[in-house]
Amino acid sequence: MIQTKDILETINMIREENLDIRTITMGISLLDCSHSEIDTLCRKVYDKITRYAEHLVATGDQIEREYGIPIINKRISITPAAMLLASADDKDAVKLAVTLEKAARACGVNFLGGFSALVHKGFAHGDRELIEAIPEALAVTEHVCASVNIGSTKTGINMDAVRLMGQVVCDASARTADRGCIGPAKLVVFCNAPEDNPFMAGAFHGAGEPDCVINVGVSGPGVVRAALAKSEGLDLTGVADLIKRTAFKITRMGQLVGSEASRRLGVPFGIVDLSLAPTPAVGDSVAHIIEEMGIDMCGAPGTTAALALLNDAVKKGGVMASSHVGGLSGAFIPVSEDAGMIAAAEAGCLKLEKLEAMTAVCSVGLDMIVIPGDVAPETVSAIIADEAAIGMVNSKTTAVRVIPAVGKAVGDMLEFGGLLGYGPVMPVNPVSPKRFIDRGGRIPAPMQSLKN
């Protein structure tokens, strides 16, 4: 039975505490669109996306109006595009990206993810062509997002791909320098990438997924913080229990919206990703949750422990609310998208090395971090390698989304606008890792991979 007080509590969460459904993401398999002629391939891709996602935005808007639940983004994820290019004689990845952009615009979605390659064990046909085209593809499109998986616990880390991605990130920034270096803000480099992640920029529709599926990403940092604001006197066990109960309520709302969207669109319901995804809005910050626990400013000693508590409690509360929790599920810590993180970075309390430590216990990794524009590509590669090593050894997803700010130095600000926010340029250790990165090869999988 739904109690009146539960309804009123949810209304208050939406009105006062920034509770929303961050995204409804339709995953579409394009494996049946493969063709040797790139023009035919692109036509088939456009036709299938626009046919399947024709009513996605309208359905999301309708659910939002009927239930009064804000649904911020409607998105599409597709089969990793490199798999499609493998069949084409002319592997024109930029032409495919432009087709994806046209499809995204036709459907009216906010983003389309899946301009992606999975190269954790090596390069297959189409992979290298797609990766090398990423800077140009992101420069000539607005809604297309890219990702590359360069490592996993089962395979180790493909250091040849890591070396390549350092250069790609820098080139993507240079190609969009006139637009606030937006290119690498739409590019994620993964280790252990999940196949059902609804959040951008890393969403893609994995080969093990059905032909079409609806995945939902919820967001409620403000709700958790508001609950903790009333927790004076609780010890940390009590804090964890309070977060679990709050995450349960948030996830139930995501389950409702996802199931309803699935029914109306006639598409299977996939997962709820219950990650706490912050925004630059005041009161919608993961950093402020950590500070509400008793850390004076995010980045201070104790921050990693507080984040570990938060991430674990969110997962435990969420899995009790839905049998289909997936994606990343936990807590995101993107610097430019979180008002508390921005403030801590500006104050010098939150540094890149501390963020790296925090990624060992959070949802994903080094996210939306602005670095000086003159950072060398091999340094970016080394940052990617460090983060991938954390994911590989700990059997978790980690990722890197860093933005070299062309023409800017430490302390300057880079503005993105919207959900991407703005961020201070953070310092990077200047000592060169070039000799290490230039070795190439593969870092072998750890002992944890031998689980069979």
Looking at residues 257-283, what average pLDDT do you find? 86
Instruction: For residue 355, tell me if it sits in a domain.
Output: yes
168 and 276 assigned to the same domain? no
Token pair of 84 as six digits: 């499609």
Looking at residues 247-259, what average pLDDT do you find? 85
Count CA atoms within 13 Å of residue 23 on its CB side: 30
Q: What is the 3-state secondary structure (H, E, C) of the chain?
A: CCCHHHHHHHHHHHHHCCCEEEEEEEEECCHHHCCCCHHHHHHHHHHHHHHHCCCHHHHHHHHHHHHCCCEEEEEEEECCHHHHHCCCCCCCHHHHHHHHHHHHHHHCCCEEEEEEEECCCCCCCCHHHHHHHHHHHHHCCCCEEEEEEEEECCCEEEHHHHHHHHHHHHHHHHHCHHHCCCHHHHEEEEECCCCCCCCCCCCCCCCCCCCEEEEEEEECHHHHHHHHHCCCCCCHHHHHHHHHHHHHHHHHHHHHHHHHHHHHHCCCEEEEECCECCCCCCCCCHHHHHHHHCCCCCCCCCHHHHHHHHHHHHHHHHHHHCCCECCCCCECCECCCCHHHHHHHHHCCCCHHHHHHHCCCCCCCEEEEEEECCCCHHHHHHHHHHHHHHHHHHCCCEEEEEEEECCCCCCCEEECCHHHCEEECCCCCCCCCHHHHHCCCEECCCHHHCCC
Number of domains in the chain: 2
CATH number at residue 342: 3.20.70.20
Confidence (pLDDT) at 379: 97
* Boundaries of domain holding 151: 26-191
151 and 286 assigned to the same domain? no
177 and 280 assigned to the same domain? no
> Burial, 413: exposed, middle or buried (Cβ in 10 Å; 0-12, 13-18, 19+)?
middle
- Model confidence at 1, in pLDDT bands (50, 70, 90)? very low
Give the residues across from 273 on adjacent strands: 217
Cα gap 145→141, rounded to integer Å: 9
Cα gap 441→131, rounded to integer Å: 18
Condensed to tens digits (0 to 9), the pLDDT of residues 411-444 reads 899 888 777 788 899 999 999 999 999 999 999 9
Instruction: For residue 313, tell me if it sits in a domain.
Output: yes
Instruction: For residue 351, tell me if it sits in a domain.
Output: yes
Give the residues across from 116 on adjacent strands: 147
Burial 176-199 (b: 16+ CB within 10 A, else e): bbeebbbbbbbbbbbbbbbbbbbb
227 and 79 assigned to the same domain? no
Confidence (pLDDT) at 270: 93
Condensed to tens digits (0 to 9), the pLDDT of residues 359-406 reads 999 878 899 999 999 999 999 999 999 999 999 999 999 999 999 999
Instruction: For residue 16, tell me if it sits in a domain.
Output: no
306 and 183 assigned to the same domain? no
Looking at residues 116-131, what average pLDDT do you find? 95
124 and 264 assigned to the same domain? no
Instruction: For residue 212, tell me if it sits in a domain.
Output: no
The helix-helix angle for 377-394 and 159-175 (nearest 10°) equals 130
186 and 249 assigned to the same domain? no
313 and 424 assigned to the same domain? yes
pLDDT reading at 174 higher than 80: yes
- Model confidence at 7, in pLDDT bands (50, 70, 90)? very low
Instruction: For residue 7, tell me if it sits in a domain.
Output: no
> Strand pairing of 366-372 and 398-405?
parallel
Cα gap 354→350, rounded to integer Å: 6
Token pair of 39 as six digits: 């023009």
Confidence (pLDDT) at 282: 63
165 and 228 assigned to the same domain? no
175 and 229 assigned to the same domain? no
380 and 257 assigned to the same domain? yes
Condensed to tens digits (0 to 9), the pLDDT of residues 55-92 reads 999 999 999 888 888 888 899 999 999 999 999 998 99
Say which residues have a Cβ less than 8 Å from residue 227's Cβ, sequence separation at least 6: 242, 243, 245, 246
Percent of the chain with pLDDT over 70: 95
What is the rounded average pLDDT for all residues in the chain?
A: 90
284 and 333 assigned to the same domain? yes
Instruction: For residue 354, tell me if it sits in a domain.
Output: yes
Instruction: For residue 157, tell me if it sits in a domain.
Output: yes
Q: Of 296, 270, 255, whose CA–CA distance to 205 is shortest?
A: 270
